[in-house]
Chain A
Amino acid sequence: MYDLKISDVSKKFGDVNALRDINLDVEENELFGVIGPDGSGKTTLFRIAATLLVQDTGKVKLSGLDNIKDYKKIREIIGYMPGRFSLYPDLTVEENLKFYATVFGTTVKENYDIIKDVYLHLEPFKKRRAGKLSGGMKQKLALCCALVHKPKFLILDEPTTGVDPVSRNEFWEILRNLKSIGMTVIVSTPYMDEAKLCDRVTLMQNGCILSVQTPAEIIEGFGKKIFSIRTDALTDTLKFLNEYKYTENVFLYGDVIHYIDIRKEIKVDILTQYLRTNELKNITIKEIEPSVEDCFLTLMREK
């Protein structure tokens, strides 16, 4: 069973509560996402799971192994990719990969089938030094190095941060493939739109976990009406809606405004009416299906 059980884990850095009573179960062969803004405690949680940090209280069991007592055994079955690029910038792609393969007592050849997917993207640059790769390539190389010893459990800390949208898509495709060959993958990201690509996601904020659900469950459980609003003066509209006494949450979403009302029986007409009285013109209001992002932004607001 390659699963992860985190129970009542807390961690303090000086006066800062980085993690407060975290409880989390990641099941075997799951692609599990931890979504949260910077400073929410994702990295601390991942470092504890990867045996690089020791929690103050609580227990962490990875595949039934204790993260403090059995850290050596855990290190053999996990592949960890830190948020910060941490390969040797002065070694080439090939040399980095070879080094990590050898220190894990294996060879690139032996586990080539696992890394093949990722390595094909890197192959044209294999003689290039890692420090000279683009952001997306660096992350792919880091993933390769984390995979080269055929881990059962992957812990990826913000692998797509600072990576262009195309590479981000490629990266997620790779993660889905890894899941399909039986790996358990736990990945963190500050991008809420990536939540829908996970099997289950959790939202982290200020060291707390807000909910653990599948993306579909999150949307289903939202239970509020959400409107997309477009006018010719978006900033003013945002201001008026923020002052509106029935507003639950309102935020800019691309070039439109998403608005959530606290009333169950709200109609487009009532909103149009309100905005008209504030002398806004060209108002288009549509009721829409909420996205995971809408749900998370509202959830974070509630807490």
Chain B
Amino acid sequence: MMTIKYILQKEFLQIFRSKAMIPIIFLMPLFQLLILANAATYEIKNISFCVVDYDYSNNSREFVSKFYATNYFLLSGYYTSVKEAEEELKTNKSRLIIHIPKDFEKDLLLNKNTKVQFLINAENANAAGLIMNYSMSIVQAFNKQIITETVNYNTSNLQSGIYITYSNWFNNLLNYKTYMVPGILVALVTLIGLFLSGMNIVKEKETGTIEQINVSPIKKYQFIIGKLLPFWIIALIELAFGIILGIIIFNVPLIGNPLLIFLVASVYLLLILGIGLFISTITETQQQAMFIAWFIMIIFLLLGGIFTPVENMPDWAQTIDIFNPIAHFSKMIRMIMLKGSGLRDIGESLMLIGLYAIVMLFLATIRYRKKT
């Protein structure tokens, strides 16, 4: 026990002595939250669009005005042919062309049926989908208005059929930041656990200090605990700091029990530290450790459901996600923070990462013992 205490003392001394450490611990969460939570959003505003109107009627102009009346769309100009307008798409000046054919108004009033074409730049599939959705809802609203105006106010006619409307639970206003902040906290905690711990052990190899440690009576498990525990503590402090920032700056709700978040985080960190330790056993220099940690981190992050919903991914990717710690942790932390889920709701995931942590630490320790 005393030995571990001395190693811990030494570790904290070294950690706080290095120039980079304090900024990493306190500035990194601040920057990540401020930049990512504000920048990484699904909402698109000011979508520039252009119009090719072959009809030039009251109704066509009215239809176009519905678009620029919202703050989602920004009219960049009228063109006389689709061909000219396509140039705008190619040069990225517009993302959407609204093509209104001749006889738009005539068909609308006489046949009760008309056509409009939307040409959307789909380089970014996500954005294209959103533009499509926005446009469709505007078209629907326009439809309703036309029907009320032209079809003699017969309300009974209108109310037949099912109206679909919705309400967003757990994030009423679909505030993207509310969704993003917990995700960024996950990334932050993972970053510290995975990078700093693994690199810290490899550093002893790189500078040769491990030689001196190995001839001392320090036992392997004492060394491992002494090396991992500081980052377990730092990451939890970091998480607390991040949650407080999220609440103060972004008004992120914290409905569930904060203690439960820390319970989940401490189990999760054991797993991440285990992976970090494992990386350190298969590498010789900090550079190698860094590279492998990045490689793993990128996969975990992109498959982890922080930026894109796991449900959007193909089945095989969702299967892989069973082994992705970030997927479990981001799901749990969102459930607790936004929905107020209790231990019973997240129990299964928590057990899974707990088990995973035990396996990982076991493997890493065995490998560590064999190597030295």
Residues of A within 8 A of B (CB): 50-52, 72, 75-76, 78, 80, 82, 84-91, 95, 99-100, 102-105, 145
Contacts and interface: CB of A to CB of B under 8 A. Distances in A.
A103 B6 contact: yes
Q: Taking each of B10, B209, B212, B213, which has the highest tally of chain A beta carbons within 10 Å of its own beta carbon?
A: B212
A80 B215 contact: yes
Task: Report the interface size class on chain B.
Answer: 20 to 34
Contacts of B212: 80, 82, 86-87, 100, 145
B13 A82 contact: no
Contact of A82 (B7, B14, B211, B218): B211
B156 interface: no
10 contacts: A50-B215, A52-B211, A52-B215, A76-B217, A80-B212, A86-B208, A88-B207, A89-B207, A103-B218, A104-B217
A88 B208 CA distance: 9
Given A87-B209, A102-B2, A103-B213, 7 more contacts: A75-B215, A76-B217, A80-B212, A82-B212, A91-B14, A100-B212, A102-B3
Given A87-B212, A100-B212, A105 B217 contact: yes
A86 B207 contact: yes
B319 interface: no
Interface of B: 2-3, 6-7, 10, 13-14, 17-18, 207-218
A99 B17 CA distance: 16
A84 B10 contact: no
Contact of A99 (B10, B208, B211): B10
A91 B13 contact: yes
A291 B331 CA distance: 77
Q: Taking each of B3, B13, B216, which has the highest tally of chain A beta carbons within 10 Å of its own beta carbon?
A: B216
Contact of B7 (A51, A84, A103): A103
Contacts of B217: 72, 75-76, 103-105
Given A91-B13, A91-B14, A99-B10, A75 B208 contact: no
A103 B207 contact: no
Contacts of A84: 208, 211
A95 B216 contact: no
Contacts of A86: 207-212
Given A86-B209, A91-B10, A52 B17 contact: no
A102 B218 CA distance: 10
Contacts of B210: 86
Contacts of A105: 2-3, 217
Contacts, number: 62
Nearest to A52: B214
A147 B32 CA distance: 48
B17 A90 contact: yes
Contacts of B208: 82, 84-86
A90 B211 contact: no
Contacts of A76: 217
B14 to A, nearest CB: 6
Nearest to A75: B215
By Cβ-Cβ distance, the 5 closest A-B pairs, closest first, are A86-B208, A102-B6, A82-B211, A84-B208, A80-B215
A52 B372 CA distance: 8
Contact of A78 (B207, B209, B215): B215
A234 B214 CA distance: 50
B6 A99 contact: yes
A258 B211 CA distance: 41
Contacts of B2: 102, 105
A33 to B, nearest CB: 21
A103 B18 contact: no
Contact of A51 (B18, B213, B215): B215
Contacts of A89: 207
A50 B216 CA distance: 11
A107 to B, nearest CB: 11
Contacts of B211: 52, 80, 82, 84, 86
A280 B307 CA distance: 85
Contacts of A99: 6, 10
A238 B222 CA distance: 60
A145 B215 CA distance: 12
A145 B213 CA distance: 11
Nearest to A129: B17
Contacts of B7: 103
B3 to A, nearest CB: 6
A104 B218 CA distance: 8
Nearest to A89: B207
Contact of B209 (A52, A80, A88, A104): A88
A80 B217 CA distance: 13
B216 A75 contact: yes
A8 B218 CA distance: 30
B216 to A, nearest CB: 5
Contacts of B6: 99, 102-103
A118 B214 CA distance: 23
A51 B218 CA distance: 14
A289 B14 CA distance: 55
Nearest to B214: A52
A95 B209 contact: no
B196 to A, nearest CB: 15
